[in-house]
Each structure stands twice: as C-alpha cells, then as structure tokens.
C-alpha cells in the first residue's frame, strides 16, 4: 500500500498491529477517524492512552480495576465465602453479565499449558492459595474452559488445596440452550446424561 | 456488558464506535492494548491523535496530505496532463499500488447520489473544473464504481466540460483476471465482448 500521507500511514500501521485487524481494515478505521470531528478522535486517543496509563490490577482477585481493590472485591454486599476461578478478564465480564453470581472472582491470567510455555508460576495461583489461607472461603467454583489445559489447571490447584476445608466445584457441562441433541459431541452428551438433574430443580423459578 | 473498570469501559466504548467493530471485538482490542508495553499503547494513541490534528487535504487534488500540496501533485516526475478522477482516498491508494499510473488524481469525495442526499455541490466538482480551466490537461480518466451513481457523476461532469479540449475516458470494464466466464453477469460479459481488444495489445509487455 502506498500512502500520500505519512501521518495516515503511521496511524494505519498502528491500527494494523491490533489482533484481527489487517491493513485494509486499518485503513478503513483511520479514514473513518479523519472524517470525524477533531474532538471525537482526540477523545478516542485519550481514552486509550489513559486506560493503559492508569489501569491497575486488583491486589486481591487480579481483575482489571481503577483502584487498588476492584469494585467487586470491595463490594460489601457480595458473598466473600465463594470464589469463582476464571482464566481471564473476559470471563469475569461474561459471568457478571449473567447477573447470577454474587461471590468474588480470581483471575488466573491463563491456564497451565506447557506447550505454550505457561507453567503454574506464570499464573496467579500463589495469590489464590494465599487468599484461601487468610480469608474464610467455603467454596471454590472453577469456570475454566473444558479442555486439557483447563483440566490440568483444575487438577493442579485441587491438589494444592486438598488439605484446606474448601469445597471445590466446576460449572456444569451439558447441552447448551438452543443446542440440538443430534449435533452435540459424544463427550458432552455423555456428561450431560451422567449429570442429569431432577426436573423439579430445572423448572423451578430461580 | 458489565465492567469492573471505568477506564476499560470507556476505551471499549470508544473502540466500538469504529465501523465494523462490535462490543466483543472492542473488548478484545482494549485488553490487547492493556497487555502491551505502556510505550506501545502511547504510540498508538499519539499516532491517531496526531493524524487527526495535523492531516490536511491537498489544495489541488483533495487527497489526504501532510502538506498543503500532496506529494503526488508536487512530484515533478508525474505527468500533469493526465488526471484520474476517483471517488475517495482508498481508490487513490488502490491505483497507486498498481504502479501503472503516472498522472495526477482528483478525489471527488463521493459520487452523486440523490437518495443519500449527495448532490454535485457536496463533491469537489467545482475545484476539478477550475483545474481543467487553469492547468493544461489533455485527458481525464474516470475511475468510478460501475453503478448508477458512478455513471451519473461521470455524465454530469462530462456535460460540464464538453466545451473544453480534454479527452474523457473511463477505466475498462470486463472479466477480471481469475474470473470465470460462466459466473460473470450478462452486462459485464456483453461489455467485455463489445470492447474486445486485439491480442497484440493484450500480450504485450507494458
């Protein structure tokens, strides 16, 4: 691509560094910003620079936060006895969107994956163990991806805390709502049969 | 989506304002920037703010430029007698990438489209007529999209300059390289038959 403006070229190159954004999309985004009012483009740039500069990670759950302690951990109305262990920040947002969980989180920052060079030391497992030792935690809900890496992480942490008086659970696996039985893979279908539930609990209003 | 950080939320909202970027993609981009070194995110923000602040439109061809006259118009090795009329800046970049055109450009900023409320006055047609009157132009190549709006614009401008001693051409329409004859639409196929070319010109090296 040959540009008649270095300023445009720089902005396109910067956009193209983002994941999933190719050169053509980057050009479309940059040209869109050129057409916007100057204040809008300034606000866009400032919100990004400001975010990277000022954002923190919660000292307790490792979630992104504006303050040293995130607004979930510092919320007194949430149950501090239940911790949901997730892989990343996106998972926190997904679970929060369901409005069905009222406990705290712990963001691991990934899962154990030797092939990708991610061992237990790269994750926030030690801070989690520290929380379990100091805070009064009754239940640890694992909401990790159902694959080898997720299961490895689950077993690794379970083994580490087997002497602590904490109940360990994982979120249910099964056929998704809207999913068709005939297209479900055998493992999911087998699991959903094994973990079948009484109809009473299924149809009850939450 | 519920965020634990206002800074993150603002950045996601700003990203989501861009065309073709939804909330989930915006979140992915923002989280990617959080993971990058602080300098990279700063550079990204600065290049965008700087582009919007400092970019200009060439006083002659209306292309984006770092200076009052763009580097195509001010390039003395380009043929000033040939002007290629295009709809937008992306078209200039596309034609420049072919490295087959050595004349100047004129960016209309759109095409006449009454349904979208775009009339001749919203386009840079008057500056183009001015260029034709003052500069010595031999040929005007129209490289507009082959649709009603493009053709309307072509005829409108042709009519305006019919008394000027300038040759008017349009880029060739036909079957694209790699295109299959059987899947081509009738209009394109008919045009490519009408405008058939001697084989000598087709196989000659440029």
pLDDT of residue A203: 59
Q: Which tens digit of pLDDT belongs to each residue from B46-86?
A: 999 999 999 999 999 999 999 999 989 999 999 999 999 99
Chain B residue numbers with beta carbons less than 8 Å from the beta carbon of A7 are: 47, 50-51, 54-55, 66
Q: Which tens digit of pLDDT belongs to each residue from A81-95?
A: 999 999 999 899 889
Alpha carbon of residue A187 to chain centroid: 24
| Percent of chain A surpassing pLDDT 90 | 64
pLDDT of residue B178: 78
Residue A10 has pLDDT above 80, yes or no: yes
Q: Do B27 and A66 touch (CB under 8 A)?
A: no
Residue B203 has pLDDT above 70, yes or no: no
Residue of B nearest to A69 (CA): B4
- CATH classification for the domain delimited by A6-54, as one of 1.10.8.420, 3.40.50.180, 3.40.1360.10, 3.30.70.20: 1.10.8.420
Domain boundaries, chain A: 6-54, 77-171, 172-206
| Percent of chain B surpassing pLDDT 70 | 97
Looking at the complex, report in whole angstroms how far the Cα of residue B128 sits from the nearest Cα belonging to chain A: 19
Q: DSSP letter string over chain B?
A: ---S-HHHHHHHHHHHTSTT--HHHHHHHHHHHHHS-HHHHHHHHHHHHHHHHH-EE-TTT--EESSSS-TTTT-TTS-TTEEEEESSHHHHHHHHHHT---SEEEE-SS--BGGGTB-GGGTTHHHHHHHHHHS---EEEEE--SSHHHHHHHHHHHHHTTTSS-EEEE---SPPTT--GGGS-HHHHHHHHHT---HHHHHS--
Q: Are B80 and B103 in contact (CB under 8 A)?
A: yes
ipTM of the complex: 0.80
Q: Are B27 and A90 in contact (CB under 8 A)?
A: yes
pLDDT of residue A146: 85
Chain A residue numbers with beta carbons less than 8 Å from the beta carbon of B46 are: 45, 49
Chain A residue numbers with beta carbons less than 8 Å from the beta carbon of B21 are: 29
Average pLDDT over residues B87-102: 90
pTM of the model: 0.78
Which residues are CB-contacts of A3 (< 8 A; sequence separation ≥ 6)? Answer: A9, A12, B93
**Structure confidence at residue B206 as a pLDDT band (50, 70, 90):** very low
Fold for the domain defined by A77-171:
Dna Topoisomerase Vi A Subunit; Chain: A, domain 2 (3.40.1360)
Higher pLDDT, B115 or B191: B115
CB-closest option in A1, A4, A19 to B64:
A4
pLDDT of residue B200: 64
Higher pLDDT, A200 or A102: A102
pLDDT of residue A204: 55
pLDDT of residue B13: 94
Chain B residue numbers with beta carbons less than 8 Å from the beta carbon of A58 are: 4
Which residues are CB-contacts of A102 (< 8 A; sequence separation ≥ 6)? Answer: A77, A78, A79, A82
Beta bridge partners of B107: B86
Q: Which tens digit of pLDDT belongs to each residue from B163-183?
A: 888 999 988 888 888 778 788
Report d(CA B184, CA A100) in Å as an integer.
54
Mutate: best of A11, A52, A55, partner B, most B CBs <10 A: A52
Q: Which tens digit of pLDDT belongs to each residue from A90-140?
A: 899 889 888 889 999 999 999 999 999 999 999 999 999 999 999 999 999
**Structure confidence at residue A201 as a pLDDT band (50, 70, 90):** low
Residue A206 has pLDDT above 70, yes or no: no
């Amino acid at each position: 691509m040959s540009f008649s403006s270095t300023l445009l070229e720089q902005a396109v190159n910067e956009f193209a560094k983002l994941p999933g954004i190719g050169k053509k999309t980057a050009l479309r985004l940059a040209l869109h910003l050129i057409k916007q009012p100057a204040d809008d483009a300034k606000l866009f740039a400032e919100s990004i620079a400001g975010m990277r500069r000022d954002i923190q990670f919660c000292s307790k759950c490792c979630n992104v936060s504006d303050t040293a302690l995130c607004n979930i951990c510092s919320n007194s109305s949430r149950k501090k006895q239940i911790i949901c262990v997730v892989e990343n920040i996106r998972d926190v947002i997904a679970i929060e969107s369901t409005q069905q969980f009222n406990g705290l989180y712990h963001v691991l920052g990934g899962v154990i994956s030797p092939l990708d060079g991610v061992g237990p030391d790269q994750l926030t497992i030690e801070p989690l163990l520290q929380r379990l030792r100091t805070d009064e935690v009754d239940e640890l809900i694992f909401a990790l991806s159902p694959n080898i890496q997720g299961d490895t992480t689950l077993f690794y942490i379970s083994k580490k805390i087997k002497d602590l008086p904490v109940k360990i659970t994982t979120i249910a696996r099964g056929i998704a709502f809207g999913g068709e039985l005939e297209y479900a893979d055998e493992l999911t279908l087998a699991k959903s049969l094994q973990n079948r539930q009484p109809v009473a609990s299924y149809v009850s209003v939450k």
